[in-house]
Amino acid sequence: MKYKIFIVIALLCGWNAARACTNFICSRGASADGSTMITYAADSHTCYGQLRYHRGGDHQPGETVKLYNYGSLKFQIEIPQVAHTYNVVGFINEKQLAIGETTWGGISPLDKGNAEGIDYGNLIYLALQRAANCREAIKVMAELVETYGYADGGESFSLADPKEVWIFEITSKGSEKGAVWVARRVPEGYVCGHANQARITTFPQEQRKAKNGERKAISSKNLKYIFEPEVECVYSADVVTFAKARNIAAYAGQPKHTDADFSYADTYNPLTFSGLRACEARVYAMFNRVNGNMKQYEAFAMGDKTAKRLPLWIEPDRKLTVRDVMELMRDHYEGTPMDMTGDVGAGPFHCPYRWRPMDFEVDGKKYVHERAISTQQTGFSFIAQCRSWLPDKLGGIIWFGVDDTYSTVYCPMFCGITQVPVCFEEGNGSMSQYSETSAFWLFNRVSNFCYLRYDSMIVDIRRVQGELEKDFVQIADGVSSQYENYDDARLVAALNKTSNRCADQMMLRWKELDQLLLMKYIDGNIKTVENGRIKTTPTGVVTGIRQPPYPEWFYRQIVADHGKVLEVKE
């Protein structure tokens, strides 16, 4: 009997619109506890934050997987199923393999992808279902696009397992079957990142005879060597020759360069002002928070293509904890010339958000709003943490949050769970259907109210956020030692209970915060809060109400614009 399994990636969050994401990659040697970590923010105005669970298992001969395009939902391709697949929670599987992505599209005519093949969303999920580690995932994805084609544009993937982290960049070959791609292992002790711009420039290439028996790089012709630990770079065999044959301008325009000087990013995703200012700038912001020597790359991040180029990876000044990495996803370019909290666009309450469109024109000159890591339209984000010293189902955690990264709470979802909490459950509400039990809608209630008087309300939000995340890290550390020797059935039950308990705690606390913010800040007033309650007199009358004035610079603008009408006449 022939079975069919249907995968519809679009149900995740509206993948067709999730085109503006941010990833950070932390190697084991750069983390404080020896874990690996990757981050991902799915930023889209139509992206609904929910956590998808896909059950794995054994499959019969003749079973197939029917894939539907992540954007159009139209049938794409049907491929054979493998004998066994892994459980997947969001973007991490039960073996602690995690994958994130950012989209960069690429150059025409390669940005549309093959007419037939596998799109990037399905490519991620097929790899998570079929691979146990980064190297297996790279091999799986390489073989899938070679066999069935790649029906998408340029993508950067982040991959993490308990021992390694990799960056993998891929784009289609247009009308030709397959893809051109490069994958590089991030060195131990280093961090990397990408944000909708290809970042791998030159890369090690395979030598006919590896020096001293070491094999640092292999092409797709020699994928059998991918599991050798010395291999740190893998690439499609035709990544250079395809560019030559198709006369791709970025490469063909430099005829004096040798193949060894070939730059993947400059060829398949050449830098533009927007690629720098809206994309590379986010990587700069992350790097700037962990290394004090980033000032030299500031001009590049701000759009100067002639300035010193941001490196692919850097060594942080300190080892990073999981809470440090959470904070890396919370940035509005504070401390840089692009700081979104201080210019007039932030308004009198220093709100670091700008409603779309991002570009505008005044008196014939073009301008842009900044595109920061923290942005209002995030559907969901996560930090995937992989810990080699623990059993897989316990060691892997996807710290999952919905809405704006700056005001979300990252809740621990262990990769061994089989029950998604109701607040994150697929089908619990949507972008067009409100749900009282949905974390997405609750967090949006709080953040959107906060945008009205940002500088005051964000203090209350960040305090509760910090309390919850500190508690969750302690819980995760505690149960990790407690559950370490549980048998599989008992472990899964305990992990389900722990992740669901954390989600329930988060929802209860955030509902209390939602109500408190409304009472405290209603109608432009700011009431005094004591012990979590609005301060009142013994008889119950609200007291301690403040009505802070606007800042002086804002009053001056009002007077400059409308002073003759508003001026008091004696």
Query: Per the domain annotation, does 362 fall within a domain?
Result: no
Residue type, 57: G
Same domain, 301 and 412: no
Where do the DSSP E strands lie in 350-396?
A: 359-362, 365-368, 378-386
Same domain flag for 438 and 311: no
Residue/partner pairs of 356-361 with CB below 8 Å, 24 or more apart = 356/45, 358/278
Burial of 308 (0-12, 13-18, 19+ CB in 10 A): exposed
Query: What pLDDT digit, counting tens, does each position of 190-248 carry?
Result: 999 999 999 999 999 987 556 666 779 999 999 999 999 999 999 999 999 999 998 88
273 has a pLDDT exceeding 70: yes
309 or 10, greater pLDDT? 309
Structure-token pair, residue 290: 């962990």
Most confident of 6-15, 247-256, 546-555: 546-555
Q: Look at residue 497 and tell me if it is in a domain.
A: yes
- Say whether pLDDT at 7 is over 60: no
Do residues 216 and 231 make contact, with C-beta atoms less than 8 angstroms apart? yes
pTM, whole model, 2 decimals? Answer: 0.94
Residue 518 lies in a domain: yes
Looking at residue 213, its pLDDT comes to: 62
Q: Looking at the domain assignment, is residue 107 inside a domain?
A: yes
pLDDT at 492: 98
Percent of the chain whose pLDDT exceeds 70: 94
Element (H, E) at 41: strand 36-43
Cβ neighbours around 459 below 10 Å, total: 10
Looking only at the bridges linking them, the beta strands covering 217-219 and 233-235 are parallel
More confident residue, 147 or 16: 147
Q: What is the pLDDT of residue 16?
A: 37
DSSP 549: P
Task: Report the distance separating Cα 156 and Cα 168, nearest Å.
Answer: 6
Whether residue 281 is found in the same domain as residue 137: yes
| Residue 11: pLDDT band with limits 50, 70, 90 | very low
What is the average pLDDT across 132-154? 97
pLDDT in tens, 369-381: 999 999 999 999 9
Which has more pLDDT, 4 or 197? 197
Structural domain harbouring 236: 10-331
**Integer-rounded Cα radius of gyration of the chain:** 25
pLDDT in tens, 327-337: 999 999 999 99
The dihedral sign for the CA sequence 514, 515, 517, 522: positive
What digits encode the pLDDT tens for the residues 174-183?
989 999 999 9
Check pLDDT > 80 for residue 514: yes
The alpha carbon dihedral of 138, 143, 148, 154 has a sign of positive
Number of domains comprising the chain: 3
Residue type, 169: E
List, as own/partner pairs, every contact residues 58-61 make where C-beta atoms lie below 8 angstroms and the sequence separation is at least 24, other chains included. 58/83, 58/84, 59/3, 59/5, 59/83, 59/84, 59/85, 60/1, 60/3
Q: How far apart are CA 17 and CA 215, in angstroms?
A: 40
How far is residue 173's CA from residue 560's CA, in Å, rounded to a whole number? 57
402 plus 512 within the same structural domain: yes
Name the phi and psi angles at 37, rounded to 5: -145, 140
Q: Which two three-digit tokens encode residue 473?
A: 């890290």
Q: How far is CA 334 from CA 117, 311, 337, in A?
A: 42, 21, 8
47 inside domain: yes
Same domain (yes/no): 58, 205: yes
Closest CA to 405 of 352, 455, 339: 352
Higher pLDDT, 15 or 364: 364
pLDDT-above-90 percentage for the chain: 87
Residue-wise pLDDT tens digits, 423-442: 999 999 999 999 999 999 99
Confidence of residue 14 (pLDDT cuts 50, 70, 90): very low
In a domain, 62, yes or no: yes
Q: For residue 212, what pLDDT is reported?
A: 63
73 lies in the same domain as 98: yes
Residues 542 and 516 in one domain: no
Task: Return the biggest CA–CA distance within the chain.
Answer: 93
pLDDT of residue 249 exceeding 90, the answer is no
Q: What is the per-residue pLDDT for 12?
A: 40
State the CB neighbour count (10 A cutoff) for residue 369. 17
Are 55 and 135 contained in the same domain? yes
Are 281 and 301 in a shared domain?
yes
Does residue 349 form part of some domain? no
Neighbours of 534 (CB within 10 A): 15
Per-residue confidence (pLDDT) for residue 209, from 0 to 100: 57
Are residues 307 and 184 located together in one domain of the fold? yes
- In the DSSP assignment, the letter for residue 228 is S
- Of 11-15, 40-44, 509-513, the poorest mean pLDDT is in 11-15
Find, among 168, 199, 163, the residue nearest to 34 by Cα. 163
Predicted pLDDT at 258: 80
**What residue type is 440 in one-letter code?**
F
Residue 262 pLDDT exceeds 50: yes
The total number of residues shown for the chain amounts to: 570
pLDDT in tens, 78-136: 999 999 999 999 999 999 999 999 999 988 878 776 667 999 999 999 999 999 999 99
Q: What angle do CA 429, 510, 461 make, to 5 degrees?
A: 120
**Residue 76 is encoded by which pair of tokens?**
């794409």
pLDDT at 13 over 50: no
b/e per residue, 3-42, with b = 16+ CB within 10 A?
A: eeeebbbbbbbbbbbbbbbbbbbbbbebbeeebbbbbbbb
**Does residue 439 share a domain with residue 413?**
yes
Q: Look at residue 60 and tell me if it is in a domain.
A: yes
Same domain as 542, residue 505:
no
What integer pLDDT is reported at residue 6 of this predicted model?
Answer: 34
Q: What's the CA dihedral at 392, 395, 396, 399 to 10 degrees? A: 160
**20 has pLDDT over 90:** no
Q: How confident is the model at residue 505 (pLDDT cuts 50, 70, 90)?
A: very high
Q: How far apart are CA 443 and CA 448, in angstroms?
A: 8
Sign (positive or negative) of CA dihedral 417, 422, 428, 430: negative
Residue 198 neighbours by CB under 8 Å, 6+ apart: 104, 106, 154, 156, 169, 171, 264, 265, 268, 269
Distance between CA 86 and CA 58 in Å, rounded?
A: 9
pLDDT score of 538: 92
Chain centroid to Cα 474, Å, comes to 24
